[in-house]
Structure 1
């Protein structure tokens, strides 16, 4: 086997290296930021000495077994994030966080597969997608901000984490998506909140730099245009940033609803809504929808350089869930339709729909359907598992008008296991095993186009200490 030595090393590292929860600290208005200003501050010195230190140390092993003679790959990243925020003074706090990553060992991820002529997608995303040879210079100032928190107002300015359906941290690698701008939230007495935000700089996941909004669009693979030519919008898209408005409501135990609008200056407007209601004891029903259209010239007045063409695109989704004790069973569906493809910058997060799965974006396709069955179970202690089975119906890879990245219809499955030891002495330690498989029976696409697209098995093992 090509991966015997790395997997043996994984077994050693998995139980001896430091690690923690596989989620970046998100900024949803929960936790200590909502707490009242209860610490007595008598001097500037105490403002800092009574502050809080937090962070994590993470070891992430990843391996992918590709189809037939396509290359298999592996990588082990180890790194840490350390953050600090001062004590609260009249509701104000200053905070910052930095992180670093090292390539402990890996296959030759800086080399392109000789058949597909592409770099290993998943393993390279643990490090720096802009510089595949970069093994150690992988540090980043992830957050630096001034926050204000009061009973009826929360605000933050600077660089920080932001969570919403289309823009979010998605910290399932070594670095999350991070944002620079300003955010204001107005809570409604535990019944919901309004969010307003403006972002003009971003540091995408799997990168180490900060970029202006228009510089980020196209850092990830740009795919092809509607005529099948390589997309030429990177470095040609013009936008000052994105304005976000969100309304989240949970007026009672039966209903939760939210609505978001993302106005990308000179590019597009994107409106999303979702509602989940308990229709019977232990039974929930959810609906969601998104509508988007061009704003300005879609990023560039020239057709060959436009990011968001003149189109009106929509999608609709549904969810039927049954909950019993610690078991959640759900059937989830997504349909994408309209004039072209569902488009939103991948560099700003990943869409979070009912049918969303790990390593399974639907951005970039139109005239598509996705059906996913999920089973999530909290077992005794601190162990949880999620199993999922998916079936997608996508346009043909050569139907460029509706298929940006050459995606192919597939059957997919996911197994996601999480465990945190219950012993107090091991508080903060956690493990995650994530396995993803994908097959496309009967597909006639060339072998080179299956590379990290379909017919693969993908393994992740994450060990982390959170403090």
Structure 2
């Protein structure tokens, strides 16, 4: 509510400014400012953008486990006013419909679980919801100059642990304040505070404390069902980030996420070109508890008293139009790598679609990737992954009952070159996973391992 009032006040002030100073001309320092002579022109000289998306997904699970499919169709429409002395207002809304699908409310008879991946196209909190799937994604006031970029309200935010991940129909969205300061064209300094979130695959906005536990919460370190949902106390998260590009051959970034009363998370990575077309990267994360980890009761704590860490590496060779890499991730055995899944998805060197490592400890992931830019309109990626994850019965290091697996991925993206089809794009994504030689009850394989997942996305961007 406070952000709505603030934005309404800002809009009135901006309109008043237009009326009072409408005859002024833009200055060189305000490169994106256009001549505004009335309140009407503030809006008529604005910009509309968005997309229309159709998403078909199907999953074939192992043996007698239920197979599922779904087709979602929807659109997002965003609008920005013209910039006036660096200020502008923006908003974006989206809607989704379940065009057809298997029964999203039907639980698999063996596992007792809902069709997780297909349901993520719609509303995780209401599997029967097929049409009331609209959401106000963005509503913000923005100020932008050559030396400062600030936003307040609801908007998209990108960082290694918190990001929109716009791969389904609804991305992760954030409410708060974000300030970015360019550093002499060689870096970017970011400060942000977020206290409300709208997780991917939901239609509502929630305070920070209510978001943690919307997604499946797994088990605690004793093997009992986690009880932190609706019992976690936090006011929000403060984010500080620094991206640097001091030279053509080196880039680095460092981030800190301080989650009130839960944890402090420090992440950094660096990538260096050690030879022509050869790059080496290293990354690391360190986590400690803050306050009571979300709740002083051990049975309801989200982040236990642990000092957890992870390390990752990347070796890449990138000749013309190709990118081949070997990526590795190791998660320490002091506990589990924990970060709210409702706020985004980790983006490490070894990250692959459908391949979160959050919730595990004493684990390793090795990935080989091959990317090819065939033309300006055709791009492909293929990957093979091998994970080493403690047994699902090792509750100390395995929150969600994940199984060690072999995984593979094929991703094909195509944009027609025909001018009349400009804006149209297609994506075909296939993800497979298997756990040969691993003894897992059939019911625990459901969307966990031994499955094939096919995605076909058609989108028009405007």
Match status 1:381 vs 2:376: yes
Q: TM-score, normalised by structure 2?
A: 0.93
Q: Which residue of 2 aligns with 1:102?
A: 97
Query: In terms of mean alpha carbon deviation, does 364-373 or 331-340 score higher?
Result: 331-340
Determine which of 312, 326, 335 is the counterpart of 1:340.
Answer: 335
Distance, in Å, in 2 between the alignment partners of 1:100 and 1:309 is 38
Q: Which residue of 2 aligns with 1:28?
A: none
Determine which of 269, 277, 281 is the counterpart of 1:274.
Answer: 269
Match status 1:213 vs 2:184: no
* SS of structure 1 residue aligned to 2:318: strand
Q: Which residue of 1 aligns with 2:256?
A: 261
Q: Give the 5 Å matches for 1:24-423.
A: 36-423=31-418
Q: TM-score, normalised by structure 1?
A: 0.92
* 1:436–1:459 contact (8 Å) kept in structure 2: yes
* 1:298–1:310 contact (8 Å) kept in structure 2: yes
Extract unaligned runs of 5+ from structure 1.
1-33
Q: CA RMSD in A?
A: 0.8
Distance, in Å, in 2 between the alignment partners of 1:372 and 1:329 is 11
Extract unaligned runs of 5+ from structure 2.
1-28
User: Per-residue displacement from partner, 1:292-346 (whole Å, max 9, x unpaired)?
Assistant: 0000000000000000000000000000000000100000000000421000000
* Bigger relative contact order, structure 1 or 2 (CA pairs below 8 A, ≥6 apart): 1
Q: Which residue of 2 aligns with 1:438?
A: 433
Distance, in Å, in 1 between the alignment partners of 2:90 and 2:376 is 34
* 1:158–1:181 contact (8 Å) kept in structure 2: yes
Structure 1 residue 113 displacement after superposition: 0.3
Q: Count how many residue pairs are aligned between Structure 1 and Structure 2.
A: 434
* 2:333–2:363 contact (8 Å) kept in structure 1: no
Structure 1 residue 189 displacement after superposition: 2.5
* 2:30–2:85 contact (8 Å) kept in structure 1: no
Distance, in Å, in 1 between the alignment partners of 2:206 and 2:390 is 33
Q: After TM superposition, where is structure 1 displaced by more than 6 Å over at least 4 residues in a row?
A: none
Distance, in Å, in 2 between the alignment partners of 1:103 and 1:344 is 30
